[in-house]
A = this chain, B = another copy of it.
Amino acid sequence: MRFTTQLLGEIMDKLKVGVLGATGLVGQRFVSLLYKHPWFELSFLTASEKKSGVKYGEAVNWLITSELPDDVSEVKLIKNDLEDIRAYKPDIVFSALPPEVAVSIEPLLLINGIHVVSNASNMRLEHDIPLLNPEVNADHIGLVQLQRTRGWRGYLLKVPNCSTAILTLSLKPIMDILKIRNVFVTTLQAVSGAGLTGVPSMSIIDNVIPYIQNEEEKIENETLKILGSYTNGVMVKPKINVSASCTRVPVIEGHTEIVFVEFEGDVDLDVGDVRKSLREFKSNKVKGLGLPTAPEEPVVVVEALDRPQPRLDRLVNNGMAVVVGRVRVVKPLNLLKYVVVGNNLVRGAAGTGVLIAELLTHYLRRVGDFNVRS
């Protein structure tokens, strides 16, 4: 008999979780999403050494509209230290650490049997690390089995790059019906993507910056991994070319992506079919699993000519949906054009991270090895 996770939610004890790097923008989102989560109990928060011992409410520059709950505000931050963390006996930790910090602490946790859902950009492309955008490729989670050879007792699951998470969610339903050859994507990314102090106001007011370090490579590489098929333990990348050009714009939250898709040969391109496939998203891999953070509609299609817009659409389905608009085809060119907006901090980071952890919980229950804490 297979457990439904719905049932799971009712019968199991909550899993203990913590957030690494809890004061940054992504860390704050993790805290916000994990607070009163039905499956997870938020037990500890980490920060850099100089903030350790300080109350979260004093250390954080809380930028989320919903207020920081008082009890979380009182939590004392701990260091990114194995022993300090182990003291809380967590089942899963969420990492919002920068890659240069993640690279040392995450493996220690894994060796010690703690699962890690990590937003850090390192290791995303390694062959045995699932890079998960659950609706698109939940089945890739099976890659964790390959991690045994690393000597880890916990699993490492990576959250995709923000722009890539948004892009792949919009590409998957198109791939389901049409053979894509090339994807040319221009991103207009919000300043929150660079963290609390990443983009000085002197750089971006009344301006556009047409460059984001390493971002184009991430989109080009991660998209292929996420859209790859995983069968019998073998990953096969799709024969698609992805080329990106990334810009920063004066927007607080919400990435906008302008997408040109060229299809193979004799495709019968119909804009209605594309819209329908986006709307229905039949290949949604977490549908029916009962994951609490999975939005009913992960892809929302809008008809208004001037939508989607980041300020107006970044909170659709609590920031877990991507909103697609301006879907149009140019038949003679075998070309599809559209615009997609997604919340870079939720769908592009913490929200997808929490969804991955829910998927992991379901996976562990199903495969019967959820014995980490014992």
Identify the A interface with B (CB < 8 A).
25, 63, 65, 67, 182, 184, 186, 188, 191-192, 195-211, 241, 243, 245, 247, 249-252, 256, 258, 260, 305-312, 315-316, 325-326, 330, 332-333, 335, 337, 339
Contact = CB atoms under 8 A, between A and B. Distances in A.
A321 to B, nearest CB: 11
Contacts of A258: 186, 210, 245, 247, 258
Contacts of A202: 25, 63, 191-192, 195-199, 252
Most B-side CB within 10 Å, residue of A67, A311, A330, A337: A311
A252 B206 contact: yes
A337 B196 CA distance: 30
A70 B230 CA distance: 40
Contacts of A260: 184, 243, 245, 260
17 contacts: A25-B202, A63-B312, A67-B316, A186-B186, A197-B200, A199-B202, A200-B201, A205-B206, A205-B250, A205-B251, A205-B311, A209-B309, A211-B305, A211-B306, A243-B330, A247-B339, A258-B258
Contact of A201 (B188, B199, B208): B199
A245 B247 CA distance: 15
Given A210-B339, A243-B333, A337-B245, A205 B191 contact: yes
A184 to B, nearest CB: 5
A210 B245 contact: no
A208 B251 contact: yes
Contacts of A182: 333
A192 B204 CA distance: 12
Most B-side CB within 10 Å, residue of A25, A308, A326: A326
A337 B184 CA distance: 10
A4 B243 CA distance: 48
SS class, residues of chain A in contact with chain B: mixed
Given A243-B333, A247-B188, A256 B201 contact: no
A256 B211 CA distance: 12
Contacts of A192: 202
A330 B183 CA distance: 13
A315 B199 contact: no
A209 to B, nearest CB: 5
Q: Which 10 A-B pairs have the closest CB atoms?
A: A186-B186, A207-B311, A210-B339, A211-B306, A197-B200, A186-B258, A206-B206, A191-B201, A201-B201, A199-B201
Nearest to A208: B256
A325 B241 contact: no
Contact of A241 (B206, B209, B333, B337): B333
A147 to B, nearest CB: 32
Nearest to A188: B208
B245 A207 contact: no
Most B-side CB within 10 Å, residue of A251, A308, A335: A251
B251 A206 contact: yes
Nearest to A207: B311
Contacts of A247: 188, 256, 258, 339
Contact of A210 (B197, B306, B316, B333): B306
Contacts of A249: 188, 208, 249-250
A298 B65 CA distance: 18
A262 to B, nearest CB: 8
